[in-house]
Amino acid sequence: MNKFIKVIKYLLSVHLTGLLIFSLIRLVLFLSAHQMLGGESALDTGWTMVSSAFLRGVWFDNVIACYILTLPLLLLSIAVICNLSIRPFMRISSVWFSLLYSLAFLISVVNIPYFKYFFTPINSSIFEWFEYASTTTSMIVGEASYVWYILSWLLIAIVFTMFVFGMQKSCCSSLKRSDNNRSLPEFVIVVALSCVAFYGCYIGMRGRFGYNPIKVSQAYFCRNPFLNQLGLSPVHYLLYSSIDMSRSENNYISLIDSNEAQEFYESYMADKNFIPDSVDSVAPKNVVFIIMESMSAKFMERFGSDKGVTPFLDSIYDESISFPNFYSAGVHTNHGLFSSLYSYPALMRRNLMKGSVIPTYEYGLPQRLLADGYKTAFFMTHESQYDNMNGFFRTNGYEEIYAEENYPASKVVNSFGVADDYLFEYALPVLNGYAESGSPFFATILTISNHPPYILPDWFKAKSSDMEYAIVEYADFCIADFFNKAKKEPWFKNTIFIFMGDHGKVVGNSMSEMPESYNHVPFMVYYHGVEPYENYSFAGQMDVTPTILDILGVESKNSDFGIDLMQVEREKIFYTSDNAIGARDSSHLYIYMPQSEKELYYHITEQGMIPVTQSDSSFTELKKFGLSMIQATEDYMKAKREQVYEQ
């Protein structure tokens, strides 16, 4: 038993010392770059917030430390359980600790000048410097401050190595021959404690008990970008940014010649851009943007459903500016969020919100309204780091994120957090508080109930016995309940309500390889005094931002891909699924599958979609349109990533 205690003492000493050194390096970063707080001193910002950043740093550092700990813990546990001499295993562990921690300390130290120059933690972009080894070496040697960082790292590595081998020597020298004698109960206790230690190390590597391991997004907790990034572990960030860049879904999309695509894009958008002569100055309106999970237009009576599960959406459709030919950018929630809030198309299965390096989209709806004095908040049911939402949204215009971490544990009903009724119940008093502050607010509320696993509360009695429709009825009820309660609030008459599906789902029979019900979603804009009408222009989620800014009377830069639907019409639209690109007008649907290079053609009639085997000029135009716009988006996003890495 004494042998096991010595081993644990050795491992914990090394582990905690490693965490202490990581924190000291972070402190040096903070002291040398605190001016990046944005003109605020630590006192102005609040030491509580600074402390939160450091605590998050320890959290992320512990993940790396636990990965380093795994091999020594395994070797020494085997040695103790099998009653072997631990001295050779400790020597191996000491070498392992010295090498791995020295490398980790090097990354952390080098991160200081890197962060001060790029205002982002060290990431996978450094590997591009390896192609220019002589230039990089000259840069490091030629800059005196860089040499001091390297010398500092050498000192840290030497002192740490001496400490590790000193601890090894101290633990081994204190062992007695009698420590090899062990009773059966002691053996059982050692095995049990070893299992506990392994479980603790496993949780440490994951960073949390949840179903997902810790992600970069978890470091973001406030609106200050310096403090958000201060909490990141440079080692963790470098590793995960490298993994992100190597994922197959991040491979470059090549559909047509980039110059040809760019020429088409510029010509098409030049015809669609609308620049008003002036913008009338009006009192700012609040905006509540309700994004509904998996809400296909095909669930609504307006679009042919006879299930009667969306009485509220059907009623508000008739009272709003409604868009019957509105399509989601893709088939995932992240596609709908990114496209509608920041005005870009989806790139098939790629999640443009993910990634350790987060670009800024300064002309997005939340960014634009934040700059105009709005309070901005995002409400979701699940944990905030899902799909990198916390990090991405805090970087791109949202002051506050309300997520599963904010709600009582008793209200969590499944892996996606709380139910819709509680989400709205929680959001309403927050909005009341914003209104009382006197500032206009922009609140985005993302529902979840219409996503498996379906959870219907006991108190809700659905008309339909089919869960696929009963859950839609519940989602519709929750939105109606929130809307009717909001009607009683003083801020209601000065608020624009937007209702949109993030994407749809398969409803009824699929008549093509890209089921229309998956991309055809409702989009309605309601406000007090609105003159209801249906806008029959084809429309997509990328058009939401410029359209809403027009309704608000907010002057804005024209979106790169979206158009103002209040001023300009689309005669056709394009959208994607995970593995296909679709482009359609009122009577034709063109589908292209890049992996198989397969093309499909459909005529759209009142009876449905009729496949045809040969292309004609209409399909040729749709092909040019869809592929050019996706290629232009790909090239823009590639340039955006490179810009972030090279800044």
Q: Cα–Cα–Cα angle for 322, 507, 461, nearest 5°?
A: 85
pLDDT recorded at residue 226: 82
pLDDT recorded at residue 145: 64
| Stretch 345-372: mean pLDDT | 89
Q: Choose between 638 and 320: higher pLDDT.
A: 320
DSSP readout, 316-385?
Answer: HHTTSEE-TTEE-SSSSHHHHHHHHHH-----TT--TT-SSS----TTSHHHHHHHTT-EEEEE-SS-TT
The answer to whether the CB of 542 falls within 8 A of the CB of 334 is no
Hey, what are 153's tokens?
């790292």
Question: Residue 515, preceding bond cis, omega within 30 degrees?
Answer: no
Q: How confident is the model at residue 43 (pLDDT cuts 50, 70, 90)?
A: very low
Write the secondary structure of 127-178 as one string of H (helix), E (strand) and C (coil): HHHHHHHHHHHHHHHHCHHHHHHHHHHHHHHHHHHHHHHHHHHHHHHCCCHH
The answer to whether the CB of 556 falls within 8 A of the CB of 566 is no
Q: How confident is the model at residue 171 (pLDDT cuts 50, 70, 90)?
A: confident
526 pLDDT higher than 90: yes
pLDDT in tens, 119-160: 778 877 677 556 545 545 555 555 556 788 899 999 999 999
The backbone torsions φ and ψ at residue 210, rounded to the nearest 5 degrees and listed phi first, read -65, 180
274 pLDDT higher than 90: no
Q: How confident is the model at residue 167 (pLDDT cuts 50, 70, 90)?
A: very high
pTM for the whole structure: 0.81
The answer to whether the CB of 120 falls within 8 A of the CB of 645 is no
Q: How confident is the model at residue 28 (pLDDT cuts 50, 70, 90)?
A: very high
pLDDT in tens, 239-253: 887 877 676 656 778
pLDDT in tens, 280-305: 545 689 999 999 999 999 999 999 99
